[in-house]
Structure 1
Amino acid sequence: MSLEPATSGAVRWRSIRGPMEVALFAKQIPNGTRTFAEHVLRGDKMTITRVTEKYIELTALGGEVIAKESNSRIRFSQPYMVAADTKRPGRYAITLTTQVGDELADWTILGKVRGDAVYWLRNLAGSGTVKDEEGVLQYAVKGIGGEILENVWNIQEEKREAIHNTEVKTARKQVSLSFEEEEEEDTTDVQIRMRPIKKVKRAQKKEREEKDKAVTETITTVPETVFPAKNAEEPLQSAAADASATHTDPTLEKLRKFQESLRQPNRSTKKTPTHNNAEEGIDGLSSEDEDLEFLNHRWNK
């Protein structure tokens, strides 16, 4: 039966190898666990610098020396326990075995690693890691951030202050350029955000394509001419009549009269008798009529 007390606080440190969650004994070790949680919030300032056969050394910038705090129920009873150095500030150790000996005798135990982080920590301590005789890593494992999972210290305000102090990037202000004297403003400590060259070129290319498209549309579009459906032949007929009236060619005039005579019905015109006594016969017929009648009489016989 384990006599180890239950943990009451948890943090997550994120590194280039992966995240590492640590469950802390916040009630039994309040000061040491609080300092470690503040260091985890500034996780980009923490680095794994040294690996030995018994433990992994983790260093952090800033902070104060953690005082010696002990509890009879907390001991190195299992691997992957987290302890803090009581002589140097910002120096922590993650044990790989229970046989740590006198090397960590004066250190304060803060908690234990939980989750899948034990796998990449074990691989880090393997033979493939490049280190010198004292265990110093040639390529240190740098941190990229951290957060508090179970906050029992009420350090939200301290978290915001730490983020504000360690934040490198400043807020960029949008500046509106104007040539009017009334709208002049103090632009000191203002950074003007410049557009990348690739985006500028892409925007210019898009504008050129839109202009070429507009020109092609204006060239290809032809206005449609709509003719009225009713009385469409009247203007043509009037135009033909006007054209015929203007031309006075005698040949065309004769041709027009000939066409009109063809359209008229064929009427036989009776020859008006002439009462010329010289050419008329006895019966009132002309000499030509008498000859024709005589010929018809002989033909019939």
Structure 2
Amino acid sequence: MSLEPATSGTVLWRSVRGPMEVALFAKQIPNGTRRFAEHVLRGNEMTITRVTEKYVELTGPGGEAVAKESNSRIRFSQPYMVVADTRTPGRYAITLTTQVGDELADWTILGKVRGDAVYWLRNLAGSGTVKDEDGVLQYAVKGVGGDILENVWNIKDERREATQNLEVKTSRKQVSLSFEDEDEEATADVQIRMRPVKKVKRVQKKQKEEESEKAVTESITTGPASTPPAEEAGKPLRSGAEDAPVTPTDPTLEKLRKFQESLRQPNRSAKKPPTHSNAEEGIDGLSSEDEDLEFLNHRWSK
């Protein structure tokens, strides 16, 4: 039967080799586990710098040294235990065996590694790792980040809060725009809401139709001025025959012209004394021209 207490806090450190999940004894070792959790949040500043046959050394961003804390139920009973140095700030170790001897006797046990991280930690101690005689790695395993999976210490993650604040949507005010001088100061700090594209297209189409109608109206109003009806009534009627070119040698057209003139001047219905000679007179003392006009007048009256 195991006497080891249950863990109550979990953190996750991510490195270039892979993630490492650590379950901590937060209730039994509150101060040391809290400091380690704060360092994991700044996981990009943590690095594995040294590897021996018994443990892997992990260096954090520093700060204050962890005070010595112990519990009779917490021992080096299994490998892959996470311990903190009580003399050097930000210095941690991960054991690879239970036979650590006196090397880590003054260190404080914080928790234990669980999950698949035990495999790549074991590979760091193999023959393929380049290190010197003291176990210092030529290519340190750098961290890329970290998270607190089970936050029993109520540690505030400032980075996560800043991201959440950016995602909060603020309400925007909708105002009517004005180009008057008195409203410039009032609308200076107000956000403008753009109209939808479909609405803009409808407005542009309506404006084009209004402009085309306006152009047609202007072309009608600015056309050649028509003669007023009063002036038209005062002018004598002109037929197409009068406007047509008249051939003076054609006697029929000449007679027709005279007939039209006689119709326009009804006061000249009285016969004028003939001015032609007796040689041109016809029957009953009328000339041939007068006979024709008399005949036409008779036909017109019928």
Give the alignment's TM-score, normalised by structure 1.
Answer: 0.53
Rounded Cα–Cα distance in structure 1 between residues aligned with 2:161 and 2:48? 21
Cα deviation per residue 1:141-179 (whole Å; 9 max; x = unaligned)? 0000000011100012xx207997xxxxxxxxxxxxxxx
Per the alignment, residue 33 of structure 1 pairs with 33
The Cα shift of 1:61 comes to 1.1
Per-residue CA deviation, residues 27-81 of structure 1 (Å, 9 max, x unaligned), is: 0000000000000000000000000000000001132100000000001000000
Match of 1:54 in 2: 54
The code of the aligned residue for 1:30 comes to P
- Rounded to whole Å, the distance in 1 between the matches of 2:68 and 2:160 is 25
Amino acid aligned to 1:126:
G
Q: Distance in 1 between matches of 2:160 and 2:61?
A: 13
SS of equivalent residue, structure 1 residue 140: strand
Which residue identity is paired with 1:91? Answer: R
Counterpart of 1:18?
18
Letter of the structure 2 residue corresponding to residue 96 of structure 1: L
1:132 aligned partner: 132
Question: Which runs of structure 2 are paired with 1:201-212 in the superposition (5 Å)?
Answer: none
Would the aligned equivalents of 1:42 and 1:162 in 2 still touch at CA under 8 Å?
no
Q: Mapping of 1:114-193 within 5 angstroms?
A: 114-156=114-156, 159-160=157-158
Give 1:125 shift: 1.0
Q: Percent identity?
A: 85
User: What residue identity is the alignment partner of 1:18?
Assistant: G
TM-score by length of 2: 0.53
- In the alignment, which residue of structure 1 is the partner of 2:43? 43
Deviation digits for residues 100-149 of structure 1 (CA, Å, limit 9, x no counterpart): 00000000000000000000000111110000000000000000000001
1:101: which partner in 2? 101
2:110 is aligned to: 110
8 Å contact from structure 1 (residues 26, 152) kept in 2: yes
> What do you get for the CA RMSD once the two structures are aligned?
1.7
Say if 2:66 is the partner of 1:70.
no
Contact preservation (8 Å) 1:42, 1:163 = no
Which string of whole-angstrom CA distances, capped at 9 and with x for unpartnered residues, describes residues 189-248 of structure 1?
A: xxxxxxxxxxxxxxxxxxxxxxxxxxxxxxxxxxxxxxxxxxxxxxxxxxxxxxxxxxxx
Structure 2 unpaired stretches of 5+:
163-183, 186-302
Structure 2 Cα separation of the partners of residues 129 and 146 of structure 1: 24
- CA contact under 8 A between 1:55 and 1:96: conserved in structure 2? yes
In 1, Cα distance between the equivalents of 2:161 and 2:88? 24
In the superposition, relative to structure 1, how do residues 74 and 90 fare at CA in structure 2: closer, same or farther (>3 Å)? same
Q: State the AA in 1 paired with 2:5.
A: P
Structure 1 alignment gaps of length 5 or more = 165-181, 184-301
Task: Give the 4+ runs in structure 1 shifted more than 3 A.
Answer: 161-164
CA–CA distance in structure 1, aligned partners of residues 33 and 159 of structure 2: 19
- Counterpart amino acid of residue 152 in structure 1: V
Partner amino acid for 1:160? Answer: E
In 2, Cα distance between equivalents of 1:90 and 1:162: 23
Contact 1:32–1:67 (Cα < 8 Å) also in 2: yes
User: Map of 1:231-250 to 2, 5 A cutoff?
Assistant: none
- Matched length: 164
Supply the AA of the counterpart residue of 1:125: A
